[in-house]
Structure 1
Amino acid sequence: MSSRTVAIAACSALVVALLAVAGFAPLPVTIAEPGLTANVLGSRSGAKVITVTGAPVRRTAGQLRMVTISATEPWAAIHLSDVVGAWFRTDETALPHDAVYPATSVKQVEAQNNAEMRQSQDAATAAALRHLKLSPSKVKIGLRLSGVGGPSAGLMFTLGIIDLIDGDGHGGDLTGGRDIAGTGTITTAGAVGAVGGVQLKEQAARRDGATVFLVPRAECTDAKAVTPAGLRVVPVDTLDQALSALAAIDAGGRTATC
């Protein structure tokens, strides 16, 4: 056997060994999939998601659904086979572990998610009352959504508060009786921001019956890459745009879509 042949055989064996190690070694990756959805106009775990004190509350029809993604636990071992499997599926995606879990411990992750949720709720309350021209010193809003963290429900919380107190401003529902889902952060001034995971979230929305999905305009490209059949994806930049889009849909008019 020539020295060249021996060298090639040795290199081949090394490559095979490295591939074997790569196949079984855990990777710094998290697998995400469509998560739960919750109607902010209703109840969860036996408690109303939105409570209002200091203003009358309407009886509403339809649903306003916030949506989430579900990720593997921060300590889960993800291997190359899992990543390859996710690559060929539309209901799974592989994400850098640190992008999903930037904190170093489970308690820190939970604390960060809870802090972002509280900030989101405060901004949603301020944006809704600002739109309704109601004083926060007179009208108190309670927001409770157990088991969910992060800032992505801001837009839907805001719409839910407005629907419960004022509806469409003419005695009707913002939803027009439809199942409306959406995602996006909110600022006190009513600006809607991107949150990520929109492809998985729209699948969760359609799975749970939504026919309209409000999405931050900045994520429109991602949203239209894999749009479930029967779901109308509507891009918005602001709370006012979201309200206008819902009014147009209820009236049977045209709206921008992704």
Structure 2
Amino acid sequence: MPRRTATMLASTLMLIALLCAGVFIPVPYSEMSPGPTVNTLGDHGGEPVLHISGRKTYPTSGHLNMTTVRVTSADYRMNLVEAVYGWLAHDNKVVPHETLYPDGKTEEQSTQENAEEFSQSQESAKVAALKELDVPVKSWVIVSTVVKGSPAEGKLHAGDVIKAVDGTAVKEPADVAKLVTKHEPGQDVRFTIVPAKEQAAAEKEKRTPTKTQDVTITTTTSDDDGKKRAIVGISAGTDHTFPFTIDIKLADVGGPSAGLMFALGIYDKLTPGSLTGGKFVAGTGTIDDEGKVGPIGGIEMKTVGARAKGAQYFLTPADNCEAAAKDTPEGLTLIKVKTIKDALGALKDLRSGDTADLPKCGT
């Protein structure tokens, strides 16, 4: 066989071997890409995203779109060819697998966590919108989760209302940890609670719950890094009673990043006139009960997805502005927001056409 032919054959075989390796050898990466964007003022799956009853609502127009990111599943193993293609593709982003699924989380665990965060973001969106409208909302501290195998398992349950710890009244979730950690590991701590079933019955009957009980739990030692402290194995959260019904219906979406857009959608439906002035506004950002807007992941994917659907303006958490401004889709204006008040102020400027002083990312 001529040397040239042999060289070409060897090169071809080597190329085939490399391609096979690229296809069959997994790499520790995952991919993010633009996901669906949904108008919180409109319908999705044949029903309104926001449905409010028991309170007067007003017609809306334009768009207040929440945005999402698609990610490869926790069980998916990307190969080298896919990783290289993702790195080269403008609208996709390849990241280390542990960035999306830290601590070896399974698909089921990640889905459950996202569902819980999504549910909490809906609650906070309702609270933030109603507070902005000066509508009173009743709030109380609850047992959010109970760690399996912890001292609290079987004694406290998710949804129990925590009235006091060791006789000291609890006003916010952080109070619970402060009071528990005053103890040394192995000491008893006394919780005064309203059981979840009693609380649910009282809400249904629109009365103040009267049945309380004391639960004594022996603390154990924390197993995380840093100074050892006493714990009982719960996380505390906040629950609310609203003066009317606000339902948010959006399937197959998880995580906390739609909070801001849900809050704005609720505000728009409860106030006369159009909040957007008919314009196509999209955005993202977590929100807490006080209306503070927090950063999210995948901002570059969300701006691309929003612009592809026709968005003109994008409400951007201040902490995401730097990353978003590096590669802003043409025709999309990024508006920096830190609170729901910032967002409402920016929307007022858009309605009036006075956009010169909008707080834009990158300026």
TM-score range, shorter chain: 0.7 to 0.9
Residue of structure 1 equivalent to 2:85: 85
CA RMSD of aligned residues (A): 1.9
Q: d(CA) in 1 for partners of 2:359 and 2:93?
A: 27
* Structure 2 residue matching 1:69: 3-state secondary structure: strand
Q: d(CA) in 2 for partners of 1:110 and 1:234?
A: 30
Q: d(CA) in 1 for partners of 2:273 and 2:18?
A: 64
* Structure 2 residue matching 1:233: 3-state secondary structure: strand
TM-score (norm 2): 0.62
Shift of 1:140: 2.3
Q: Is 1:37–2:142 an aligned residue pair? A: no
1:96-175, aligned counterparts within 5 Å? Answer: 96-102=96-102, 104-136=105-137, 137-166=242-271, 171-175=272-276
* Structure 1 residue matching 2:322: 3-state secondary structure: helix
Q: d(CA) in 1 for partners of 2:294 and 2:338?
A: 7
Residue of structure 1 equivalent to 2:280: 179
Q: d(CA) in 2 for partners of 1:186 and 1:90?
A: 29
Shift of 1:22: 7.0
Task: Answer whether contact 2:75 2:106 (CA < 8 A) is retained.
Answer: no
Cα deviation, 1:19-57, whole Å, max 9, x if unaligned, reads: 985774212211111000001111111221111122111
Task: Answer whether contact 2:59 2:274 (CA < 8 A) is retained.
Answer: no
Shift of 1:69: 0.7
Report which of the two structures shows the higher radius of gyration computed on alpha carbons.
Answer: 2
Pick the structure with more strand per residue: 2
Q: d(CA) in 1 for partners of 2:107 and 2:300?
A: 26
Shift of 1:188: 0.5
TM-score (norm 1): 0.87
* Structure 1 residue matching 2:108: 3-state secondary structure: helix
Question: Where does the alignment leave 5 or more consecutive residues of structure 2 unmatched?
Answer: 1-16, 138-241
Q: Is 1:246–2:247 an aligned residue pair? A: no
Question: Where does the alignment leave 5 or more consecutive residues of structure 1 unmatched?
Answer: 1-16
Task: Answer whether contact 1:90 1:226 (CA < 8 A) is retained.
Answer: no
Q: d(CA) in 2 for partners of 1:132 and 1:44?
A: 26
Aligned match for 2:296, one of 171, 190, 195: 195
Task: Answer whether contact 2:43 2:49 (CA < 8 A) is retained.
Answer: yes
Q: d(CA) in 2 for partners of 1:37 and 1:159?
A: 15
Residue 199 of structure 1 aligns to which amino acid in structure 2? E
Residue of structure 1 equivalent to 2:359: 256
* Structure 1 residue matching 2:99: 3-state secondary structure: helix
Q: d(CA) in 2 for partners of 1:81 and 1:22?
A: 5
Residues matched between the structures, number: 238
Q: d(CA) in 2 for partners of 1:50 and 1:107?
A: 27
